[in-house]
Amino acid sequence: MVRALILYHSLFGNTKDVALCLAQGMEKLGIETACLSIDEVDINQIPNYDFLAIGGPTHMIGLSKAMKVFLTKLKSVNLHGIKGFAFDTRNHSRLNNKRWFILENSAARKIEGNMRRMKIEIIKPRQSAIVYGREGPLESNVKTSFQEIGKDIGNILGS
Ligand SMILES: Cc1cc2nc3c(=O)[nH]c(=O)nc-3n(C[C@H](O)[C@H](O)[C@H](O)COP(=O)(O)O)c2cc1C
């Protein structure tokens, strides 16, 4: 049985909602999925999972402070070979129209980079969910599209 863990940081609840949609999609494909905040997870349990998704809000075009601290802590755990996926929530930005641009407005880019450096095997490229303003709500298509992403990941993990 494949075991999956989705971790999120969320100030206003939007990233949490996205994480829950991802979990719903994966569970539809029969993947046993836990969905926890980075504040409540015991990092020593993470190596027991086959798959790890990490998502957070984009702050100042990068990581929130809490996510930075968490990723630093996570480096002390051996996650070599676990499969992974990174996501974020953010506002629309012209910076994101230029893929080459070093100042890409995305926490997911940084989360994914950290995961790669921890030797986590990224099985699906990072994805962003768009929110309106700081507190949301999410754009109307986001929940469905993250359920679909969850199903894609479920398919990859199940095959
Ligand atoms: C301190 C702060 C800085 C932010 N900076 C950015 C930013 O640089 N780019 C962006 O797209 N959104 C930015 N936002 C909007 C957040 O991305 C948005 O609040 C978040 O996606 C909502 O998710 P949450 O409800 O899970 O916290 C910022 C929000 C806060 C509170």
Q: What is the pLDDT of residues 52-84, one digit of tens each?
A: 999 999 999 999 999 999 999 999 999 999 999
Q: Domain boundaries in the chain?
A: 3-158
Contact 55, 19 (CB under 8 A): yes
Q: For residue 116, give the 3-state DSSP assignment.
A: helix
Q: What was the pLDDT predicted at 1?
A: 86
Structure tokens at 113: 């980079």
pTM: 0.96
Q: What was the pLDDT predicted at 105?
A: 87
Q: How far is the CA of 5 from the centre of ligand 1 (A)?
A: 23
Q: What's the chain's average pLDDT?
A: 95
Q: What was the pLDDT predicted at 102?
A: 64
Nearest C-alpha to atom 13 of ligand 1 is from which residue? 59
- DSSP codes joined into one string, 22-52: HHHHHHHTT-EEEEEETTT--GGGGGG-SEE
**Cβ of residue 60 lying under 6 Å from some atom of ligand 1:** yes
- The interaxial angle of helices 14-28 and 142-158, nearest 10 deg, is 40
Does the bond joining 137 to the residue before it have cis omega, within 30 degrees of 0? yes
Measured CA to CA, the distance from residue 13 to residue 18 in angstroms comes to 9
Q: What was the pLDDT predicted at 95?
A: 66
**Cβ of residue 136 lying under 6 Å from some atom of ligand 1:** yes
Residues of the chain with pLDDT under 50: none
Cross-strand bridge partners of residue 59: 62
For domain 3-158, give the CATH number: 3.40.50.360
Nearest C-alpha to atom 27 of ligand 1 is from which residue? 11
Report the Cα 120 to chain-centroid distance in Å: 13
Q: What was the pLDDT predicted at 65?
A: 98
